[in-house]
Structure formats: structure tokens, C-alpha cells
Structure 1
């Protein structure tokens, strides 16, 4: 039986390669039908911000890749409520549908997975 994996992405999409690396891991795992989930935490929630202008920073926009996650069988997407709130992001305007979790639910989520990778 495949082991479950939770990927926690904590970096803004323009803060370096970590956001893209987390997405690559999730897409690869989804292609191999591993049971996995993606959690947007801390500055990682900025990946969910609508209407990003990555080209202005000479970066590649991750929005299209994020939108493709369900096609790879990745339907378990989560965001930390506190992270969204602290960064002024409104759940209703996010570019991707995610389940928003409070602090107590985050611990329970992490404990459900066999492996946790934080980037």
C-alpha cells in the first residue's frame, strides 16, 4: 500500500525555487497516484493570490500549474486560516479552491499523513 504524503509549501511564489519545487513534488506524486495533499502555510498562501503578475518579477506564473492539480488526482488542498488572515487574503477571492483550516485542524491534518515534506 502506498504511503500518504503531505507537502507543506511555506514560500511565496516569487521568493525562490521552493514554491515551484513543492508543486513539482505534488505533480509527480499525483502522476504516480500517491495519496497526497498540499498545504499552503505562512507566505505559501501568496501562491493562491488572484491576478499575480509574475512576469513583472521575471518569474513564471504558477497559477496554471496549480489549476492542473485536480487533473493529476490532487484534490486535497488546504490553506491555513491564520496565514491567509495575517496576509490580508480573502478566502472568497483565492485563485484555487482550498479547504481553509484553523490552528487545531492543522495539527490533525499533519498527523493523518505518513510523510510530511516542508518547503
Structure 2
């Protein structure tokens, strides 16, 4: 079975992209596909706690994010550079994601059979 890495580059409230990428991941996980997710660039903002989506008339994505492990998506990664550029710290993210430097990101991407960037 082919493995899939989903690279999530969407800010949580910039449009439907963030919700769509989570839906793709959850659907794949429901079919027992080996899936991992990497939060890169503005996608790292999805891991920020205490977001207030209702202020933007958006739905909260935190339930979808918390459901990832229940759907077998336990390999979660975040870019160290993306966190730093957005003033975020590892101890303040909402999911147990492994933080990778640039070399780790390259190795991760090479490890998967298929890579989708959204």
C-alpha cells in the first residue's frame, strides 16, 4: 500500500483550504491509508491554541485536528522554521507534532511514496 504525506500550507481562516485538507486526511485515514501530515508555512498556524474562528464567522477546526489520531493519522510534523517565523513555540501547539528542521523536512518528503501539497 502506498504511503501519503499531506503538506498543509493553509492558514486556518484564509478560506476553505484548511478545512478541505483536513477532510482529505480524515477520509484517507478512514480507509486505512498510511498517511502523515506536515504543517508548513501558514499551515503551522492551525496548531495555535485559543483561536477564535467565530469572530471571523468560521467554523472551529480544532475538533477535526483532534480527530486525526482517531483516524489513524498519528504521524504529525511541523516545520521548525514555520513555527519560528510565526512566533510560535513547540510547547504552545495543540497537537503532539514532531518538529523538523529543513534537513528533516527533506528526509520526510523523500520517505513517502506520494506527497500532496495543499
Give the gaps of 5 or more residues in structure 1: none
After the TM superposition, which segments of 4 or more aligned residues of structure 1 sit over 3 Å from their partners?
Answer: none
- TM-score, normalised by the number of residues in structure 1: 0.97
Q: CA deviation at 1:11?
A: 1.1
**Secondary structure of 1:106's match?**
helix
Residue in 2 that maps onto 1:43: 42
Query: What is aligned with 1:33?
Result: 32
Q: Secondary structure at the match of 2:27?
A: helix
Cα offset for 1:60? 0.8
User: How far apart are residue 89 of structure 1 and its match?
Assistant: 0.7
What is the match of residue 78 of structure 1? 77
**C-alpha distance in 2 between matches for 1:112 and 1:21:** 24
- Report what 1:105 is aligned to: 104
Alignment pair present for 1:90 and 2:99? no
1: distance between equivalents of 2:19 and 2:2?
23
Count of residue pairs the alignment pairs up: 118
Gaps of at least 5 residues in structure 2 are none
**Residue of structure 1 in register with 2:62 after alignment:** 63
CA RMSD in angstroms comes to 0.6
